């Protein structure tokens, strides 16, 4: 079955970026001139996704407005003949894209957020994208994963090696056989200490899941941080179905971290020909 639906858990409060996120969703923080969430949505669209499911919370109206039509803005841009800007605004949501919103009423963790989308997803495999993980690649990482899913027909996670001292920040894979960058998952552990971690192969914010995951999420078992963890549900799923870790080709920026967010801004700005030279000169002055 084709992967047509993608779930975006966007109900978080973004406390690490306060006070900036006091009145603005963290997913709307801009990298150069586009909000974080738009990069993730564009990756999904470029990967063949047809329906976007936003799992939101309170205070997310700016995100919803961003993916809605602004007739007044379009009228002004058209009158002023700002055609390039008009096209950029109109292209945010292609006519073929279907967007659905559902609420996560309580902040009970990533697993709970995905469970909130169960009735919209239905009985089919689906993708999950976390906007905090901004991925830079010639071929969209989700597209890479979907191609591998078409071959394996099993749940999978995007995986990358992290410094051993940072395993406590991630879900960590206990790896089995590896073939061509795809690793069989023996077990998954949420945020283990370096001493307890079975490897330094971390799960990052791209998933393809079979609908069987909802059976385990509906138990609402709490794990690390007293939250309903997706990692725990996937560990339980392993008793029934195989799961694979896919080492995607590309660069990942942790935009849930202040330093990672600033690095992402610099990296994406340096890719813009109209900005690159002036930016380099200014960076040299700053660090000189």
Rounded Cα–Cα distance for residues 7 and 206 (Å):
10
> pLDDT above 70 covers what percent of the chain?
99
**Predicted pLDDT of residue 2:** 87
- Mean pLDDT to the nearest integer, 244-257: 94
Rounded Cα–Cα distance for residues 86 and 90 (Å):
6
> Residue 164 has what DSSP assignment?
G
Neighbours of 176 (CB within 10 A): 13
> Residue 47 has what DSSP assignment?
T
Query: How do residues 4-45 score in pLDDT, each as one tens digit?
Result: 999 999 998 888 999 999 989 999 999 999 999 999 999 999
Query: How do residues 144-203 score in pLDDT, each as one tens digit?
Result: 999 999 999 999 999 999 999 999 989 899 999 988 889 999 998 888 999 999 999 999
Is 222 strand, coil or helix?
Answer: coil
Quick check: 225 pLDDT over 80? no
CATH of domain 5-257: 3.90.550.10
> Which tokens belong to 39?
């990069």
Q: Kindly give the residue spans of alpha helices, DSSP state H, lying in the chain.
A: 36-46, 61-66, 71-79, 83-90, 110-115, 118-121, 141-152, 213-217, 230-237, 258-270, 273-287
**CA atoms in the 13 A half-sphere facing the CB of 125:** 16
Q: How is the chain split into domains, by residue range?
A: 5-257
Rounded Cα–Cα distance for residues 200 and 238 (Å):
20
> Residue 18 has what DSSP assignment?
T
**Predicted pLDDT of residue 185:** 95
């Amino acid at each position: 079955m084709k992967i047509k639906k993608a779930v975006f858990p966007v109900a978080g409060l973004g406390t690490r970026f306060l006070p900036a996120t006091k009145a603005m969703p963290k997913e709307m923080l801009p990298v150069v001139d586009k909000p974080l969430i738009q990069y993730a949505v564009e990756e999904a669209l470029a990967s063949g996704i047809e329906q976007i499911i936003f799992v939101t919370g309170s205070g997310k109206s700016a995100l919803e407005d961003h993916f809605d039509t602004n007739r007044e803005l379009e009228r002004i841009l058209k009158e002023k003949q700002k055609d390039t800007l008009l096209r950029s605004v109109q292209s945010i949501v292609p006519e073929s894209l279907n967007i659905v919103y559902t609420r996560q009423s309580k902040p009970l963790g990533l697993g709970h957020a995905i469970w909130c989308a169960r009735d919209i997803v239905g009985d089919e495999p689906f993708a999950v994208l976390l906007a905090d993980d901004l991925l830079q690649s010639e071929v969209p990482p989700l597209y890479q994963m979907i191609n591998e899913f078409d071959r394996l027909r099993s749940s999978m996670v995007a995986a990358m090696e992290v410094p051993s001292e940072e395993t406590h920040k991630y879900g960590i894979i206990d790896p089995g056989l590896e073939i061509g960058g795809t690793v069989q998952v023996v077990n998954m552990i949420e945020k283990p200490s370096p001493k307890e971690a079975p490897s330094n192969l971390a799960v990052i914010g791209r998933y393809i899941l079979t609908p069987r995951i909802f059976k385990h999420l509906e138990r609402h078992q709490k794990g690390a941080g007293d939250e309903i963890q997706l990692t725990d549900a996937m560990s339980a799923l392993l008793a029934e179905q195989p799961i694979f870790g896919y080492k995607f080709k590309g660069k990942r920026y942790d935009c849930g971290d202040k330093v990672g967010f600033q690095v992402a801004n610099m990296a994406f700005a340096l890719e813009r020909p109209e900005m690159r030279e002036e930016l380099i000169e200014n960076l040299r002055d700053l660090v000189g």
